[in-house]
Chains A and B, each alone.
Chain A
């Protein structure tokens, strides 16, 4: 096909159904998106009509209440403390499990798949839901938040730890084996030095994520700044809410900055 001096250059589809195949896949994709839009009630006019209320909300938040900071710094620090121990416990849980989840180190394929699924389940449940469960089990307070972050985080850390071990150079392990060195020392001197930078990077990335997550855990009573956020909204003290959001933003940004600096240092 050509348009004046322009020529259309398209590689014909290689599949069995040619252009018909491409056309039907495109149509199917459009139908799917339309179906999802109907289900989620996407509606431009609702958005348009809601703008004045959003502006109203923002106006009522202004200016943020600086006095509220005085009540906020304690729960903010608590969120940080929850994030730190949530991460640490996550590492402690992930470490013994991750060897079985690495294809090349796992004793058998059955163990490998079982461990991977276990990690998937741990990771599959959202932190807030885990926090609800732990609040019900051990009562309100930050420790429930720590456990929620630890379980969810262990699922993610275990998978990433295992994948890092799958990527190692196995040549040195052969050298250890031919020198008759046992599995523990082989791991400690042959595997760990190779995966340590990746592992530390993963841990700091998880810490950053946990700082972000810990700021909302308070909504379900699992400690931290999230509780203040929700209660200020319930009391219609939007200026306090604004302060809360700013503090959370600052925490997340700082965590992000520190984490990426540290990860750059390790590399």
Chain B
């Protein structure tokens, strides 16, 4: 169970996150929707300490996550990036071992010596994304989709409680995107890892998300199942959106939904 409480962050006086409260259960696949600049990336970076929040905290299974920069050692939060962020000239296996590296000896690592158990975990994670046969390929010999799967394996090797994904499929084609998100969802379910996944494609959000959080202007404007996502709310999240296709990916629903009205009202206010 991951609880994010009262997260606030501003850059150069411009508020980016204005008090975010979220909780994600183990094994839950949460999608964060929102336009560029809504604070999706900042939210994830504040959760894992790549950015320091001005206020608020993250509690994982009852323990407050220490976000101080430079905190080393094993982390219960793993991250998957839009641009994979693999070391291209390193082998695939070593890229995955990065997920194990926090606990390992610097000296032995420098000699390219790794504990057998950690290598086994890394290989196992590679097998989970069906890339075991590529363990000895160089990072840049893989296709974009494969590189992102290695990114997933690296995050999984960290054996985290939560995996954060920052636009993991933004630079992939639709078919590859679906495969990558499929692996993520499977891992989420089978390992019971909570996933917080930033997306900007509404259709993937509806297809893969178990819960969708809409972010707009640094606030949560929607937090519910994809079934309750209406085209009004999509327009709320993406102001000025002109895309008649959006209605097609949303679940058809009865005409009026009074339950949602107050939420839209508060968000507009």
Can you list 25 contacts pairing A with B, beta carbon distance less than 8 Å? Answer: A171-B83, A171-B85, A174-B79, A175-B98, A175-B151, A178-B48, A178-B49, A178-B75, A179-B75, A179-B99, A179-B102, A180-B71, A180-B74, A180-B75, A180-B102, A181-B72, A184-B106, A184-B110, A185-B106, A185-B109, A188-B106, A188-B109, A189-B98, A193-B87, A194-B89
Judged by a CB distance under 8 angstroms, whether A4 is at the interface is no
In the complex the two chains form, is A179's CB within 8 Å of B50's CB?
A: no
Point out the residues of chain B lying under 8 angstroms from A177, CB to CB: 49-50
Interface, chain A (partner B; CB < 8 A): 169, 171-172, 174-182, 184-185, 188-190, 193-194, 196-197
* Nearest chain A CB to B96 CB, angstrom units: 11
In the complex the two chains form, is A174's CB within 8 Å of B106's CB?
A: no
Identity of the chain A residue whose Cβ is nearest the Cβ of B164 in the assembled complex: A178
Judged by a CB distance under 8 angstroms, whether B211 is at the interface is no
Main secondary structure, interface of A, reads helix
Judged by a CB distance under 8 angstroms, whether B57 is at the interface is no
Point out the residues of chain A lying under 8 angstroms from B72, CB to CB: 180-182
In the complex the two chains form, is B83's CB within 8 Å of A178's CB?
A: no
Point out the residues of chain A lying under 8 angstroms from B204, CB to CB: none
Q: A179-B154, A180-B72, A185-B106 are in contact. Are A174 and B89 (CB under 8 A)?
A: no
Point out the residues of chain A lying under 8 angstroms from B102, CB to CB: 179-182
In the complex the two chains form, is A181's CB within 8 Å of B50's CB?
A: no
Point out the residues of chain A lying under 8 angstroms from B99, CB to CB: 179
Interface, chain B (partner A; CB < 8 A): 48-50, 71-75, 77-79, 81, 83-90, 94, 98-99, 101-102, 104, 106, 109-110, 151, 154, 158
Q: A180-B72, A180-B102, A185-B104 are in contact. Are A175 and B89 (CB under 8 A)?
A: no
Point out the residues of chain A lying under 8 angstroms from B50, CB to CB: 174, 177-178
Point out the residues of chain A lying under 8 angstroms from B94, CB to CB: 189
Identity of the chain A residue whose Cβ is nearest the Cβ of B90 in the assembled complex: A193
How many residue pairs, one in A and one in B, have C-beta atoms under 8 Å apart?
Answer: 80
Identity of the chain A residue whose Cβ is nearest the Cβ of B79 in the assembled complex: A178
In the complex the two chains form, is B79's CB within 8 Å of A189's CB?
A: no
Q: A177-B50, A185-B106, A193-B90 are in contact. Are A172 and B85 (CB under 8 A)?
A: yes
* Nearest chain B CB to A164 CB, angstrom units: 13
Query: A108 to B73, alpha carbons, bound, how many Å?
Result: 24
Given contact pairs A175-B151, A176-B98, A190-B98, a sample of 6 additional A-B residue pairs in the complex whose CB atoms are under 8 Å apart: A178-B48, A179-B99, A182-B106, A185-B104, A188-B106, A189-B101
Point out the residues of chain B lying under 8 angstroms from A171, CB to CB: 81, 83-85
Point out the residues of chain A lying under 8 angstroms from B77, CB to CB: 178
Query: A175 to B157, alpha carbons, bound, how many Å?
Result: 13
Query: A169 to B86, alpha carbons, bound, how many Å?
Result: 10
Query: A196 to B77, alpha carbons, bound, how many Å?
Result: 31
In the complex the two chains form, is A175's CB within 8 Å of B81's CB?
A: yes
In the complex the two chains form, is A172's CB within 8 Å of B86's CB?
A: yes
